Structure 1
Amino acid sequence: MPTTNNKWTWLLWLLSALMLVIGLTLGIGGAYLVTLGGSVYFLLMGLALIVSAVLIFKGKPSGAWLFALAFVLSIIWAVWDAGFTFWPLFSRLFTFGVLAFLVALAYPLLKARAGLVARKGPSLSLAAVLAVALIAAFGNTFIPTPIISADNDQVPVKPVEKGAEQKNWESWGNTTAGDRFAALDQINKTNVSKLQVAWTAHTGDIPQSNGSGAEDQNTPLQVGDKLFVCTAYSKVIALNVDDGKKLWSYDSNSTAPNWQRCRGLGYFDNSSNNSAAPQAPAAQPAAIPAAEPATPAAASEAAAPATNAPQAPAATGGTVSGTCERRLFLPTIDARLIAINADTGKPCADFGDNGVVDLKVGMGEVKPGYYQQTSTPLVAGNVVVVGGRVADNFSTGEPPGVVRAFDVHTGALVWAWDPGNPNITKLPPEGETYTRGTPNVWSAMSYDPKLGLIYMPTGNATPDFFGGTRTELDDKYSSSVVAVDVATGKVRWTFQTTHHDLWDFDLPSQPLLYDLPDGKGGSTPVLVQTSKQGMIFMLNRETGQPVAKVENREVPQGNVPGERYSKTQPFSVGMPNIGNQTLKESDMWGATPMDQLLCRIEFKGMRHQGVYTPPGLDRSLQFPGSLGGMNWGSVSVDPNNAIMFVNDMRLGLANYMVPRAQVPTGASGIEMGMVPMDGTPYGAVRERFLSPLGIPCQKPPFGTMSAVNLKTGKIVWQVPVGTVKDTGPLGIKMRMPMEVGMPTLGASLSTQSGLLFFAGTQDFYLRAFDTATGKEIWKSRLPVGSQSGPMTYVSPKTGKQYIIISAGGARQSAERGDYVIAYALPDEK
């Protein structure tokens, strides 16, 4: 063995230096954490490491024994602090486990330096045990572990009856019910592993990752032998369903300074059953009786009397021509609605002004980027209905949140719903505009043709984080599901999910319409609405009354001068809450104990009072943040087993209000940073709650997929989705498929064969899950990430089923593309 003067002494110095650096970091940071009222562990562990480092530097074996004691106590503390959950324990112990391995290897050298007999056997044996434990722990990071495991892995799969197969995918959510379910089973659990790329097409329209917000979030439509794709810059391409060859393309020549995207197109076929839906009346009807309020969180409104507002200008052309029987509706980023011949790609001359309706009419001033279309138009019978995205948080009095219905044939305005003025039912009187700054509908809407109701998920009156200037009607309709009559636009009922919303808790997703079996041979028509705050609301879609229990609970009150606060908020307790727990210090996380410590310091330096922590002049933590929770991807459903699939993201936001005098000129944060909120006494700052390494500060998972039983309101299974293969600390790709569970953004697809397809993770994969268990049973590497919704169809020519995904880039990746990729089973030989 080495002696005191041997050449290996410098290894002890290196080990002591490493321990000293870690110890000083933990000691200094731990002392500061204690002053904030946080855990004393980091201070004590830091001191133990510092003393151990000094003793090891001096060649004292007692340094190793001191560290060993500290390590054993750390294991006990970690279990007490975090329980037996893998990722929190990994964060607390893996770094110290590596140090323990090095100390065990170095112990014979320490003994030799002290002039003692140094036996290698026990130390090397201990080092081997630690090495095995470290390798096992590291290997476990690649193994997906359910958060909630399914009790039954034999959920019945009902075969598709002959003649009941899905023929087309004609709406963004497959149907106007938003179910994202395909009655197809050619691709199933037994053969999905054989899926392979059948063809790849390119749109030629790559969304540029330059801070402007351009993103590919499209779910294509399929009708017959054509697949229709829209791009972030409002272009449309028709592809052959069997080989992806371009049939035609249409360029709307749209421009916008930011937020460029097209989530989907609308489709109308004049020869289909759409024409049997309720017609727009020639004259305004009498008032519709009001429904009874469902709860204090719900309200209903009788239809307002008709006004003599001016009618829309006469549209160019007349009735539907034989040359535009099938038409697509393109929502553009510069606020136009364009009808395109689905067969030729030419604008329909009989719609609006040679195919175009200008959505800025009646809106007043619309600055570039302040009002645009990002979500799919809703085709409901013989009307096409649009809301619009408004540039939140720049000022009060931004463009109106009006929702309008246009005749699918002529483009004439049929009705308008102005949340700020129920007397305006078409165009506003000359010299006036729709009410500015009102709650808007930027996400996708749903439609029940049997009830003749359109369901609109609303956002906030601008700006998001200060509501002192909002009107009574603003407060009534913001962050609500609003049901309106398809023929008149008159409100039947409303249900509010957040009172006086100060958190940007817009309703972001398309409502799911589902007929819930009542156990007596009948069913209840329900609407299921997911929310950014991680709650799921189930309502009777005929009346607006909750089917799953909702409680109004008292919430924390703020103290910002000029603001008012709702004393209560609606909590959905009859359905699962997903990823919205009130965080505590022990929920903080980091790749190492050092950045976990920094996250704890960050957390203890903020005010956090749960999901409805009110914004203030101090720094507060909002969890979930305004990105969600659940976002625009919406849900999919297995109607045969009453199972709904919900993906979420778990990202907190640090926010605070800034007095007007301190708001810098030119503040323009779109998602993060300083927003001006002109017209109010304050600006506001939003920052992602991340460690210095750029990792979310709360423990994983950061995104999940959950299966919810709609009959019982219970989670069937929940799994983390997404790895750090294509992202990582400081934005550096880790290139390792660690199953952390990443923030999800996109839509899923459920099929009757018991498969769930999803690509909206931060890594570059399309995955298939078993709907019974949540187990991943297939995945395919994509050239770039995807935020788009998978869809499926069977070719009318070949009878082959395809799975389609549009891949333009993941949210947190700079890599972009223009891919449309089709998967199919190989041909039988």
Structure 2
Amino acid sequence: MRIATALLFALLGLALTGGGLWLVALGGSWFYAALGLGLFVCAVLVALRNPMARLLYAALLAGTLAWALWEVGLDWWPLGARGGLVVLLGVWLLTPWALGAPRRWDGNRLALAAILVACLGVAGVALLRDPHAIEGRLQADASGATPPTGDVPAGEWREYGRTLAGQRYTPLAQVTPENVGEMEVAWTYRTGDIRGPEDVAETTYQVTPLKIGSLLYLCTPHHVAIALDAETGEERWRFNSKDGLDPHRQHQTCRGVSYYRDARVVETDLADSPTCTARVFLPTSDARLIALDALTGETCAGFGDNGTVNLWANMPNQKSGFYYSTSPPTVTNNLVIIGGSVNDNYAVESPSGVIRAYDAMTGELIWAWDSGNPDRTTPLGPDETYTANSPNSWSVFSADPSLGLVYIPLGNATPDQLGMNRSPAVERFSSSVVALDIASGAVRWVFQTVHHDLWDMDVPAQPVLVDLATDAGTIPALVQATKQGDIYVLDRRSGDPILPVRGIPAPGGAIEGDWTAPTQPVSALSFSPAPLREADMWGASLLDQLVCRIKFRQLRYEGRYTPPSLEGTLVYPGNFGTFNWGSVAVDPVRQVMFGMPTYLAFTSQLVPSDQIDADEQVNAGEAGLNVNAGGEYGVRMGPFVSPLGLPCQAPPWGYVAGADLRTGKKVWMHKNGTIRDAGPVPLPPIPMGVPGIGGPMLTASGVAFLAASIDDYIRAYDVATGAQLWELRLPAGGQATPMSYEAGGRQFVVQVAGGHGSIGTKAGDYIIAYTLPQR
């Protein structure tokens, strides 16, 4: 055992010394090299049965403890990565078998035991602390607030975010913080549409159902539209769009359908109304918009060409799988307004990001707004095309019919990491939120969240509309969550900031031929993380932590907005963003928001087109090598992870958070989720704070529901404090935003569990309704 111990110490010492010297050469910490040399000397002493090995190891362990506390303080997970391995080796060295020496407790052994006890004591104190938490209580005072109004009955959920305001808030209050722990499954429905081996990597189930009357309306990842009985979950009708599979699609998902009822028809029972008086709009992955009768699921023959509008019309660069709609259109003022997703970084010659409005009854194109040619909104002639590569909107819109405005969250122009050939119009509208006139499509205002975006920082989230009570009176506001973590609160009439926005200096040094903006905007309300440091690198042990430190020093990183580079750039917040399409939920009465900030760093490396390996798998999704066919550079992207596949940055990686929109203050913030489903085998449900993608939902009683994290749970939280109130296991990943409605006098909460291909959660086809037990 002694020789094996010596060999282990020697090998570990050599690895730490070699890697540590590499890190020092890169300008990093000297600690690993020093520890490695000490371990090698200790190995020699062990081989010689010299009891001084224990005293030397006690000194090394004490130095490790002091260094770890100096770097990260009493933060358990970073401490564990630094000390776990060396403490375990110290415990082994304390035994008589490790040294093969007499078993008496001499001074050397006592010194090692004392240091081990000190390490365990520090670990115990760290376990009882959460240095990342923000504790507080959101106010419950509704004075001065304007209660939500509108024509959506309290028991219904008629839009993706319940109303055109996108608040993800229900006025129902049957479920409360006091009784939510009693919620149970009311019914489960399985769609039969499950991710298969021939699907693209990012095949996900992100749908939020609608509830109108007695029916729920939803879609599946392969664009099957389904109507269910809201009280029992029984299927009423099903329509298969038969959009097929296409390996060139970057995404395969359906976030929802849209509902429309012709207001010009007298409000009578739909069963007595003409066919297609009420209709459901289904976007598809092969770029169609289909109108279905809301009662029967039959196509509405009078809409477009026998129920279908072809979204490839007037589109440049028509390549199969390069353009499709992943989000439900917005229906307002008798118009269906729809955008589309353009594959990121697949080809320089890509389709347009045009936004189009169709007559909801006939399918006639009324206007088209192309951010590459923003001053013309009238329909094009048969031989004209929209602007190639113009910024697109793949997320969900909001609308304020009283102001006559629809609000569009815009993405970036592809190629996302290359900005050399962008027009002035593209520069103006990339990564912005734009207010368009509902009637004409004309631009009323634009607010840009990233200047000259080189990081794929699309505005990913549906804008949330709320009337804010301020000292100057009630202001119609728009709350815009971003990938960078900034929450912009704007006057939705003009786009002017309500909460302050300032410009901060940004790093320069783009590749030859490109440029960077000298400043970037930052909101007063921001969940953007602090810049990463070498000390923030993490791992399961000192060894993979050392690898992460070396990688960190090798990458170009000067903080947020470090430009893409040939050597590789660290992008933080990363491509998934602090917030994504799940947006935030807003309580319009309490004037507060609930969100799920996520923190994962990514890497981005530009690859000259003549150096792309023909054998490397390309365009397999947003992670990996995307070739930008026809351009000078491809881009290799992916999460910043250790050799074991763990994030290189220390946890927590995911939180729930509450903020007061009137003051712009973060009031509370707690880590969220466990690592139970983070590995190939079930792990202990340790609450580390894990990433997620999806959105929350709020109730008038002050309960928030969320199921977006990478562990398969749906949870309920107290909106006032962020305390977790309830959780239930899901049969698959819950990367969809929940919704709530009333049926048969009972409040239901519905969660879709189908998984997410990119983040690796379990695939499924479940629609699950929860409610309180009947008394």
The corresponding residue for 2:208 is 219
Q: Is residue 75–residue 131 contact of structure 2 (8 Å, CA) maintained in 1?
A: no
Mean CA deviation greater in 255-264 or 32-41 = 255-264
Change (3 A) 1:134 1:207: farther
The corresponding residue for 2:479 is 528
CA-CA distance at 1:39 after TM superposition: 0.2
Matched, 1:235 2:224: yes
Residue identity opposite 2:48 in structure 1: K
Q: 2:37 aligns with which of 13, 28, 47?
A: 47
Matched, 1:249 2:234: no
Q: Is residue 148–residue 716 contact of structure 1 (8 Å, CA) maintained in 2?
A: no
Matches within 5 A, 1:265-284: 265-271=257-263
CA-CA distance at 1:135 after TM superposition: 8.6
The corresponding residue for 2:770 is 823
Q: Is residue 100–residue 130 contact of structure 1 (8 Å, CA) maintained in 2?
A: no
Matched, 1:715 2:666: yes
The corresponding residue for 1:188 is 176
Alpha-carbon distance in 2 for matches of 1:333, 1:706: 34
The corresponding residue for 1:500 is 452
The corresponding residue for 1:548 is 499
The corresponding residue for 1:610 is 559
Q: Is residue 108–residue 118 contact of structure 1 (8 Å, CA) maintained in 2?
A: no
Change (3 A) 1:402 1:713: same
Alpha-carbon distance in 1 for matches of 2:413, 2:153: 43
The corresponding residue for 1:624 is 573
Contiguous gaps of at least 5 residues in structure 1? 1-9, 276-319
Alpha-carbon distance in 2 for matches of 1:371, 1:636: 29
Q: Is residue 94–residue 134 contact of structure 1 (8 Å, CA) maintained in 2?
A: no
Matched, 1:94 2:41: no
The corresponding residue for 1:577 is 527
Q: Residues 632-660 of structure 1: CA distance to partner in whole angstroms, max 9, x if unpaired?
A: 11110122222111213222222221222
CA-CA distance at 1:35 after TM superposition: 0.8
Q: Is residue 146–residue 717 contact of structure 1 (8 Å, CA) maintained in 2?
A: no
Contiguous gaps of at least 5 residues in structure 2? none
Matched, 1:202 2:190: yes
Residue identity opposite 1:242 in structure 2: E
Q: Residues 481-529 of structure 1: CA distance to partner in whole angstroms, max 9, x if unpaired?
A: 1111011100001111111111111110001111111135x31111111
Change (3 A) 1:472 1:273: farther
Matched, 1:803 2:754: no
Change (3 A) 1:822 1:426: same
Q: 1:702 aligns with which of 653, 671, 675?
A: 653
CA-CA distance at 1:733 after TM superposition: 3.0
Alpha-carbon distance in 2 for matches of 1:117, 1:595: 34
The corresponding residue for 1:60 is 50
> Helix, strand or coil for the counterpart of 1:528?
strand
Q: Is residue 434–residue 446 contact of structure 2 (8 Å, CA) maintained in 1?
A: yes
CA-CA distance at 1:149 after TM superposition: 2.9
Change (3 A) 1:332 1:119: same
Alpha-carbon distance in 2 for matches of 1:108, 1:691: 31
Matches within 5 A, 1:117-132: 129=117
Change (3 A) 1:200 1:379: same
Q: Residues 144-191 of structure 1: CA distance to partner in whole angstroms, max 9, x if unpaired?
A: 947333333774699x99999722101111111110011111111111
Residue identity opposite 2:685 in structure 1: P
CA-CA distance at 1:560 after TM superposition: 1.4
Matches within 5 A, 1:132-211: 133=121, 136=124, 140=127, 145=130, 147-152=132-137, 155=140, 166-208=154-196, 210-211=199-200
Q: 2:711 aligns with which of 760, 763, 767?
A: 763
Q: Residues 787-825 of structure 1: CA distance to partner in whole angstroms, max 9, x if unpaired?
A: 111111110xx2111111000014433631111111111
Q: Is residue 46–residue 99 contact of structure 2 (8 Å, CA) maintained in 1?
A: no
CA-CA distance at 1:422 after TM superposition: 3.5
Q: Is residue 76–residue 123 contact of structure 2 (8 Å, CA) maintained in 1?
A: no
Alpha-carbon distance in 2 for matches of 1:587, 1:376: 40
CA-CA distance at 1:123 after TM superposition: 8.9
Matched, 1:390 2:380: no
The corresponding residue for 2:253 is 261
Change (3 A) 1:634 1:153: closer
Change (3 A) 1:535 1:50: same
TM-score (norm 2): 0.93
Q: Is residue 85–residue 541 contact of structure 2 (8 Å, CA) maintained in 1?
A: yes
Q: Is residue 108–residue 120 contact of structure 1 (8 Å, CA) maintained in 2?
A: no
Residue identity opposite 1:420 in structure 2: G
Q: Is residue 149–residue 773 contact of structure 1 (8 Å, CA) maintained in 2?
A: no
Alpha-carbon distance in 1 for matches of 2:393, 2:114: 62
The corresponding residue for 1:281 is none
Q: 1:34 aligns with which of 24, 27, 45?
A: 24
Residue identity opposite 1:230 in structure 2: C
Alpha-carbon distance in 2 for matches of 1:148, 1:274: 54
Change (3 A) 1:219 1:272: farther
Change (3 A) 1:559 1:240: closer
CA-CA distance at 1:235 after TM superposition: 0.5
Alpha-carbon distance in 2 for matches of 1:682, 1:555: 23
Q: 1:689 aligns with which of 640, 646, 653?
A: 640
Q: 2:280 aligns with which of 328, 347, 354?
A: 328
Alpha-carbon distance in 2 for matches of 1:31, 1:125: 30
Q: Residues 43-71 of structure 1: CA distance to partner in whole angstroms, max 9, x if unpaired?
A: 11111122222212322221111111111
CA-CA distance at 1:397 after TM superposition: 2.8
Matched, 1:791 2:739: yes
Change (3 A) 1:188 1:695: same
Residue identity opposite 1:220 in structure 2: P
Q: 1:468 aligns with which of 420, 426, 435?
A: 420
Alpha-carbon distance in 1 for matches of 2:395, 2:148: 34
> How many residues in Structure 1 have an aligned counterpart in Structure 2?
761
> Helix, strand or coil for the counterpart of 1:50?
helix
Residue identity opposite 1:24 in structure 2: L
The corresponding residue for 1:278 is none
The corresponding residue for 1:440 is 392
Q: Residues 290-347 of structure 1: CA distance to partner in whole angstroms, max 9, x if unpaired?
A: xxxxxxxxxxxxxxxxxxxxxxxxxxxxxx9712122111111111111111111111
Q: 1:428 aligns with which of 361, 380, 390?
A: 380
Change (3 A) 1:690 1:273: farther
